[in-house]
Every structure is written in structure tokens, then in C-alpha cells.
């Protein structure tokens, strides 16, 4: 919704997001938007580019986070912690609350701020395509990417019935919808496509693609 506002939208319609979550998603949008405007008004964050800090990749346990798999992950994590030198872990920096008054900008201040970065399609290189890549170790097996891709995307994600891990197929178009709904930062990243993309433009194309 914020991306649409940056592109100049004065009104945002919430559709499939309600189906994927529930009506509480509307309150989440409002809270997130208020937080975003508040942080834009803080002088100490003037140089922030509104990107989350990099997430340290977890240990490669390759096990889902439910049932007996979760217990095995916890056991492996406990064994690793015992081998870790606690003295090398840097102490957390104390949180200092902001006590100065913050001049929160109005919503109209962010409408259309991305327009200078928007260009014509002919100026883009359609050979530079991306696809979604899921980090199995960060995945919490919520299924939001699978549900969203099947409901509003290109049905390019399969779901493993045993491990509950998503698998992105070659049908991925790089629309970034799955990354938008993923609740875990950097769990789904868009990476360059390594194989040529052949779009399926109808039933006849679907038959040809799956007969090869």
C-alpha cells in the first residue's frame, strides 16, 4: 500500500490481503503508516534509507519449525550455543528514548515521492529478470507465500506436504508478491533469473510447455 502511495495513489484498495490474513490487516497498515510518517519526522533518522539492517544468516539445520522437526532444531541449536564463546558476543547498545518533540509530516508529503524514479517500459531491459528465492532456515512454514502466489500470483510456488517448505518453480515471474507478504525479513529475496523465461500466454502454450 505504501508503494502505491509513493507512486501517486491517493486511495488504496485492500483486496486479497484480507483473505490471506483477516480484517486486522487494515489496522496493521494504519499502524505501519503512522510509524513510517513518525520516523520520517525524526531528525536523527534523516540519513536512514528506510531499509532494515542485514539479517545474519542462521545455521543450516534444514529442518522445519514444527512438530518433531522443531525439537531437533532446538537440540542442534543448543549444541551450537554450548560451543560458542560468549565473550565474543558484543553487548547490546542501550536504547535511548527520543524525548524531543517530533514534527510528523502529513500523509500528503509521501504521495508521489517515487515518481521521479519511474520511467517508461521501453527504457528497461526486459532481459534482466529476477525470481524469488526462499531461505529454508529463515522460513517459519506459515504458507503465506504459497497462498498468495496461488490466489493473486502465477501459481509458481509448491508446498511440501511433509516439511511445509515452499518451492519456487520456473513459472515464477519475479512479481515480488510473495516477498511482500512474507513476515520474516530477508527470508524471500529476489535473485537474478538463470534460465530463460518463456511466459505461458494461454492454454495452447501451457500444453506445449508441459509436453516438452
82 beta partners? none
* Model pLDDT, residue 202: 61
Q: What is the pLDDT of residues 78-100, one digit of tens each?
A: 777 676 655 455 666 666 666 67
Check residue 145 and give its pLDDT. Answer: 93
Instruction: Tell me the torsion sign for CA atoms 14, 15, 17, 22.
Output: positive
Residues of the chain with pLDDT under 70: 1, 20, 53-66, 81, 83-99, 200-212
- Euclidean distance between CA atoms 67 and 74, whole angstroms: 11
Of 161, 166, 163, 162, nearest in space to 143 by CA: 166
Put simply, whether the predicted model's pTM sits higher than 0.85 gets the answer no
Under 8 Å between Cβ of 181 and 144? yes
Question: What is the model's pLDDT at position 208?
Answer: 56
Amino acid at each position: 500500500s505504501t508503494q502505491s502511495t509513493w507512486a501517486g495513489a491517493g486511495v488504496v484498495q485492500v483486496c486479497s490481503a484480507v483473505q490471506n490474513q483477516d480484517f486486522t490487516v487494515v489496522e496493521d497498515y494504519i499502524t505501519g503508516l503512522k510509524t513510517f510518517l513518525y520516523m520520517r519526522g525524526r531528525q536523527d533518522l534523516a540519513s536512514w534509507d528506510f531499509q532494515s539492517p542485514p539479517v545474519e544468516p542462521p545455521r543450516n539445520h534444514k529442518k522445519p519449525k514444527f512438530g518433531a522437526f522443531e525439537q531437533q532444531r532446538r537440540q542442534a541449536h543448543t549444541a551450537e550455543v554450548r560451543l560458542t564463546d560468549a565473550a565474543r558476543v558484543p553487548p547490546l547498545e542501550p536504547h535511548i528514548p527520543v524525548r524531543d518533540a517530533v514534527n510528523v509530516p502529513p500523509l500528503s508529503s509521501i504521495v508521489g515521492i517515487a515518481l521521479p524514479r519511474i520511467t517508461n517500459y521501453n527504457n528497461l531491459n526486459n532481459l534482466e529478470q529476477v525470481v524469488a528465492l526462499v531461505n529454508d532456515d529463515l522460513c517459519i512454514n506459515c504458507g503465506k507465500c504459497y497462498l498468495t502466489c496461488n490466489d493473486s500470483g502465477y501459481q509458481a510456488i509448491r508446498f511440501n506436504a511433509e516439511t511445509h517448505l515452499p518451492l519456487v518453480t520456473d513459472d515464477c515471474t519475479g512479481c515480488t508478491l510473495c516477498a511482500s507478504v512474507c513476515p520474516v525479513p530477508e527470508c524471500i529475496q529476489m535473485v537474478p533469473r538463470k534460465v530463460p523465461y518463456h511466459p505461458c500466454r494461454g492454454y495452447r502454450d501451457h500444453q506445449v510447455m508441459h509436453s516438452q
